Amino acid sequence: MVVPRLEEAGVAVWPCAGVVGRELLSPSPANGNSGAPSGSRFVGRRLDLGASMHTIYCDYNATTPLDPEVRSAMWPFLTEIWGNPSSLHQYGRRARAALDEARERAAAVLGAKPSEIIFTSGGTESVNLAVLGAARALRDRGRHLITSAVEHHAVLEAMAHLERHEGFRVTRLPVTREGFVEPERLAAAFEPDTVLVSIMAANNEIGTLQPVPALAALCRERGVWFHTDAVQFFGKMPFTSVRDLGADLVSLCAHKFHGPKGAGLLYVRSPLRVQPLLFGGPHENENRAGTENLPAIAGLVAAMERFLRPPVFDPARLQSLTDSLAAELLSIPGVHLLSPRTARLPNTLAVAVEDLDSVTLVAGLDLEGVCASAGSACSAGAMEPSHVAMALGVPPQVAAGLVRFSLGRDNTPDDVPRIAEAFRRVVERARTCG
């Protein structure tokens, strides 16, 4: 893969080689960082940056490349099958048949009923529909919601909205040093009017796998609805049926397992119903108005069929790679392990470097040809320590130096020493530059 190096892409580099300055965070015309990179040229709409070093991509929790076969499955819906599934004529009927079939196939992969699937525009929408849609459907029964301190912002911000503007109360459960939500804590947090609990299946930043079936069982006993954000779970962990999770609502999205961006679904256990977020036509069984995005849905379903059972992120292979990487990284002075030692996503390894900040580290790694993340992609531009790292109870000067490596299909054992050597160089340089 040919990708621009930071200097080539016009990102200012501090005089101390290999360490990238804050300009990376706030490109502006004032620092000459807003236009086409010098020494590069636009060819049509494409930026031609010439040959680049071999790059190691280890940010698969942020996103994955579209699989060529998934792309082929989308193609007919970008070309000949372009009708509106709501139209009565033959173009529409053909599109409707494809949509119905896609729903049946998605349900079959999950072990669910087709009527339990709502296609959405991705992870954020699925999570928002679950949290806002369920809370609003239940508001006459109660106004208390429970979540954890380490959820993705899609959950946390939806909960905060309900708290600020719609009269709900929200309990955010603390987690252990390794990011686990303890079932006893949940059991103690229920109130007489608790109506919804939302706890993620797998943490995107540190990889902690939550005891979802146990948490869901506590909710079921009390008649409380349980949502799990499983965006990072599917494609990485084996499962036989979505029902194994025990959840009433389950969110997933395609681009985390080599499907297209902007495609996801929400599973809603029958006969439960959420309140829609979008109003208009009766699409998606009156759960989500708007003409269906058939190319995206076709890509989602193709990726689900190819990559969920068994998971495309081979657990045994990736566990061995991240274990070796952990051993190498932890031998560097001042590096702490943030991921749990057991019950973590096999592909995910988060470490933190004392007294250094994530953005400097990740930018330095990029210059070394290693693509990692400073936390969740959505907050990668923020300078505050990750809320997940802070929730683990580590000191702020450690939390601020979180770096996440999330490996995937194309990583090999040879990548491990290369990543570790690059990391050691970046840490040493950052320390020398102060």
Ligand X SMILES: Cc1ncc(COP(=O)(O)O)c(C=O)c1O
Which residues are identified as catalytic?
Answer: 378
344 binds ligand X per the rule CB under 6 A = no
229 binds ligand X per the rule CB under 6 A = yes
Distance between CA atoms of residues 51 and 385, nearest Å: 35
User: Closest separation between CB of residue 232 and ligand X, Å?
Assistant: 5
User: Closest separation between CB of residue 40 and ligand X, Å?
Assistant: 29
User: Closest separation between CB of residue 104 and ligand X, Å?
Assistant: 24
- State phi, psi for 203 to the nearest 5 degrees: -80, 130
User: Closest separation between CB of residue 329 and ligand X, Å?
Assistant: 22
Taking residues 34 to 73 in sequence order and writing x for each that binds ligand X by CB under 6 A, - otherwise, the string is ----------------------------------------
DSSP state of 277: S
Among 20, 73, 129, 154, binds ligand X (CB under 6 A): 154
What is the DSSP pairing of strand 402-406 with strand 348-353?
antiparallel
The rounded radius of gyration (Å) of the Cα atoms in the chain is 22
Distance between CA atoms of residues 319 and 346, nearest Å: 4
391 binds ligand X per the rule CB under 6 A = no
Distance between CA atoms of residues 433 and 430, nearest Å: 5
Distance between CA atoms of residues 418 and 404, nearest Å: 16
337 binds ligand X per the rule CB under 6 A = no
User: Closest separation between CB of residue 230 and ligand X, Å?
Assistant: 8
Distance between CA atoms of residues 64 and 58, nearest Å: 10
The Cβ of residue 234 has, within 10 Å, a number of other Cβ atoms equal to 28
Among 148, 204, 358, 411, binds ligand X (CB under 6 A): 204
Stretch that binds ligand X, among 123-131, 136-144, 273-281, 333-341 (CB under 6 A): 123-131
Structure tokens at 256: 């985390």
Stretch that binds ligand X, among 18-26, 67-75, 122-130, 313-321 (CB under 6 A): 122-130
Touching ligand X, residues 236-255 (CB under 6 A): 253, 255
What residues have CB less than 8 Å from 28, skipping those under 6 apart? 34
Nearest to 185 by CA among 152, 155, 160, 210: 210
122 binds ligand X per the rule CB under 6 A = yes
Distance between CA atoms of residues 23 and 27, nearest Å: 6
Nearest to 11 by CA among 362, 377, 352: 362
Among 131, 159, 162, 200, binds ligand X (CB under 6 A): 200
Residue found under tokens 């059991």 = 187
Among 127, 195, 196, 312, binds ligand X (CB under 6 A): 127
Structure tokens at 414: 């040879």
Distance between CA atoms of residues 49 and 44, nearest Å: 13
Distance between CA atoms of residues 69 and 258, nearest Å: 10
Of the pair 81, 237, the CB lying nearest ligand X is at 237
User: Closest separation between CB of residue 63 and ligand X, Å?
Assistant: 8
Give the residue closest to ligand X by C-beta: 123
Among 64, 124, 171, 406, binds ligand X (CB under 6 A): 124
Touching ligand X, residues 345-384 (CB under 6 A): 376-377
227 binds ligand X per the rule CB under 6 A = no
Of the pair 156, 302, the CB lying nearest ligand X is at 156
User: Closest separation between CB of residue 39 and ligand X, Å?
Assistant: 33
User: Closest separation between CB of residue 168 and ligand X, Å?
Assistant: 20
198 binds ligand X per the rule CB under 6 A = no
Stretch that binds ligand X, among 117-125, 306-314, 338-346, 398-406 (CB under 6 A): 117-125
Stretch that binds ligand X, among 164-172, 225-233, 338-346, 405-413 (CB under 6 A): 225-233
The residue count for the chain: 434
How big is the site for ligand X, counted in residues (CB under 6 A)? 15
Distance between CA atoms of residues 255 and 238, nearest Å: 18
Residue found under tokens 């049509």 = 44
Structure tokens at 413: 């054992």
The Cβ of residue 16 has, within 10 Å, a number of other Cβ atoms equal to 12
For ligand X, the binding residues (CB under 6 A) are: 122-124, 127, 152, 154, 200, 204, 229, 231-232, 253, 255, 376-377
